[in-house]
Every structure is written in C-alpha cells, then in structure tokens.
C-alpha cells in the first residue's frame, strides 16, 4: 500500500508541476461557470438558469470533454515510461507491476477527480450564491453528476491504460486514444441510432438497446444523469424515455464501475507479461 501511495504521489506531483492539474481545473471551472450562467441563452434570455438545466448542459458537455482529457492524461502512462527508459529502472525496484499500475492509475484519477470536483463545485457554489436552488432535492443530482463524472473519467483513464499497456510506442497509443474517444463518444451513438432506424424494432428490442447502452460508458453516464432524477429528466426531454428504459441508476453506476475494472484488469494482465 505504501508503494502504491508513493507512486500515486509521484503522478500527482508530476501533474501539478507540468500544469496539467491547473489547466484541467481552470478549463472545467470556466466551462461549468459559463454553462451555469449562460445556460438559458438558447431560450432567449441570458441569466442564471435552474440547477437542473445546468446539470443537463454540463453533463452533455462532460461526455465529450472528460473522456478526452482522461485519455490524454493516461495514454502514455506506461508506454511513455517504457520509451523514456524510466520504466526499466522502476521495474528493478521491489515493487510489483500490479502496484505500479494501480499507483499510477490512482494518481491520474486523483488529478481528474480534483479538477472535476473543484471546477464543477465552483459552478455549484456560484449557482447557490446567485440564489438558485434550495434544498437537498435540487442539489442531489448535481452532486451525483460530479461523482459520476469522476467515474466516467476513471473509466476512460482505465481505457487509456489498456492502450498504453498494449502498444509499443507513444505515437500508436496517441492514435488509438483518439480512436477510442471517437468510437465511444461519437460513432457508437450514431451507429446505434442508424441501426434503430433501419431495424424498425424487429431485432433491436428495448432489452437489446438497454444492453447496448450499458456497453458504452458514455451512454451509461448520460442515462444516469439525464434519467436518474425525475426533476432533471423533465428538462432533458427524457421523462418519457426514462420510463421505457428501465435502467435503474444503480445498474448504470455498476456499468461505469465495470468500465473501470475490466480495462484496468486487462491492462494489468498485459503489463504483467510485457518484457522490457
């Protein structure tokens, strides 16, 4: 455990030093604040929108942004150290490869969690200060969004680690990371939509669609935030969908957790066998 913390600490210090932490936090805070205060602009008025509107717009943005940041943070976590030659020395120390991968992963997830909590938290505090949203019921979805955003980020960090463990050089890893981002964030939903239209409900029954949505961490995140809470789903235009989907929030969170555990386990297995 001590070794894991030492390794995580090094990643965090590295992130602080090369301004990654600062850049991500500022970016997230700026976007969150902009969306909270200009979120109602499409409806014709500029001003502070309700918390629920902020949650809808912010979570939609998170789906695009956070996976990209997570992949950028993680794609060279292992392959970069192999290429620079720092991994070879590290592997001669009394640390197991499992400890190395878990320690580094925790370090990167901490950076992402810190930036998300601080950036989105700032927006939440600003909304509250502007006299918006009273009571726990309003803020619960907001807190849940921050928490699930961290999970979504962690899932893509885990995917980044899988790429990083599997490929031989940084260039390939970077290319694959962009590919994974495109596939999960953009192409998957388009393909699913196209299939639904073409299929006309013959083989793609609601059960199959549910399963397919769980097979993409971005969709699990989207559904959790847009259908998980009745007051939010009204604003998201998902109220009707939420009833037919029948994917309980706990299941969606489990799917996100699986999207962290499975890629990270695979990454650890590949890393374990890799020769230097």
Partner 1 sequence: MTDPSIDLINIEKRYGSQVAVRGVDLQLNASESVALVGHNGAGKTTLMKLMLGLIRPSAGTVRVLGEDPVASAAVRSRNGVGFLPETIAFNASMTGAEVITFFARLKGVPKAEGRDLLARVGLSDAAGQRVGTYSKGMRQRLGLAQALLGSPRVLLLDEPTTGLDPQLRQSFYAIISELRDAGATVLLSSHALTEIEGQTDRVAIMDRGRLIALGTIEKLRSIARLPVRMRISVESRAENLVQHLDGTVLNVSIINGAITGAEMNGFTVDLTCGDDSKMEVVRRAAAFGPTVRDIEIFPPTLDELYARFLDGERAG
CB of 117 to partner 1, least distance (A): 24
Instruction: Between 22 and 234, name the residue whose CB sits nearer to partner 1.
Output: 22
Instruction: Between 80 and 249, name the residue whose CB sits nearer to partner 1.
Output: 80
CB burial of 222-232 (b: ≥16 within 10 Å; e: otherwise) equals bbbbbbbbeeb
Closest CA to 67 of 228, 271, 259: 259
Binding site for partner 1 (CB under 8 A): 2-3, 6, 10, 13-14, 17-18, 84-86, 88-96, 275-276
- Write the CA distances from 168 to 70, 84, 164, 173, integer angstroms: 20, 12, 8, 8
CB of 165 to partner 1, least distance (A): 16
Other Cβ atoms within 10 Å of 155 Cβ, number: 29
CB of 95 to partner 1, least distance (A): 6
Instruction: Between 6 and 169, name the residue whose CB sits nearer to partner 1.
Output: 6
CB of 16 to partner 1, least distance (A): 10
User: Tokens standing for 111?
Assistant: 């950076």
- The residue length of the chain stands at 276
Residue 247 to residue 255: CA distance in whole angstroms: 11
Instruction: Between 14 and 189, name the residue whose CB sits nearer to partner 1.
Output: 14
Residue 20 to residue 105: CA distance in whole angstroms: 15
Compute the radius of gyration of the chain from its Cα atoms.
20
CB of 93 to partner 1, least distance (A): 5
Instruction: Between 52 and 81, name the residue whose CB sits nearer to partner 1.
Output: 81
CB of 209 to partner 1, least distance (A): 44
DSSP-assigned letters across all residues of 89-121: HHHTSS--HHHHHHHHHHHHHHHHHHHHHHHHH
Instruction: Between 10 and 140, name the residue whose CB sits nearer to partner 1.
Output: 10
CB of 99 to partner 1, least distance (A): 9
Instruction: Between 140 and 274, name the residue whose CB sits nearer to partner 1.
Output: 274
Residue 175 to residue 173: CA distance in whole angstroms: 5
């Amino acid at each position: 455990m001590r070794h894991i913390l030492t390794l995580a600490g090094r990643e965090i210090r590295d992130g602080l030093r090369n301004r990654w932490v600062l850049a991500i936090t500022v970016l997230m805070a700026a976007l969150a604040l902009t969306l909270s205060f200009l979120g109602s602009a499409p409806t014709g008025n500029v001003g502070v929108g309700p918390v629920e509107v902020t949650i809808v717009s912010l979570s939609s943005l998170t789906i695009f942004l956070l996976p990209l940041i997570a992949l950028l943070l993680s794609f060279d976590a292992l392959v970069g150290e192999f290429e620079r030659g720092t991994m070879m020395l590290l592997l001669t120390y009394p640390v197991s490869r499992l400890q190395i991968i878990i320690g580094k992963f925790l370090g990167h997830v901490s950076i992402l969690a810190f930036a998300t909590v601080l950036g989105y938290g700032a927006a939440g505090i600003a909304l509250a200060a502007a006299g918006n949203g009273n009571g726990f019921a309003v803020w619960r979805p907001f807190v849940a969004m921050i928490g699930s955003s961290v999970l979504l980020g962690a899932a893509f960090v885990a995917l980044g680690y899988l790429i990083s463990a599997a490929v031989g050089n940084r260039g390939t890893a970077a290319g694959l990371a962009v590919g994974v981002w495109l596939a999960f964030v953009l192409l998957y939903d388009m393909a699913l939509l196209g299939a639904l239209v073409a299929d006309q409900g013959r083989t793609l029954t609601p059960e199959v669609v549910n399963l397919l949505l769980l097979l993409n961490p971005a969709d699990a995140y989207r559904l959790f935030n847009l259908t998980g809470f009745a007051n939010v789903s009204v604003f998201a235009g998902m109220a009707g969908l939420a009833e037919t989907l029948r994917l309980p929030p706990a299941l969606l969170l489990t799917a996100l957790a699986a999207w962290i555990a499975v890629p990270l386990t695979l990454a650890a297995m590949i890393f374990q066998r890799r020769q230097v």
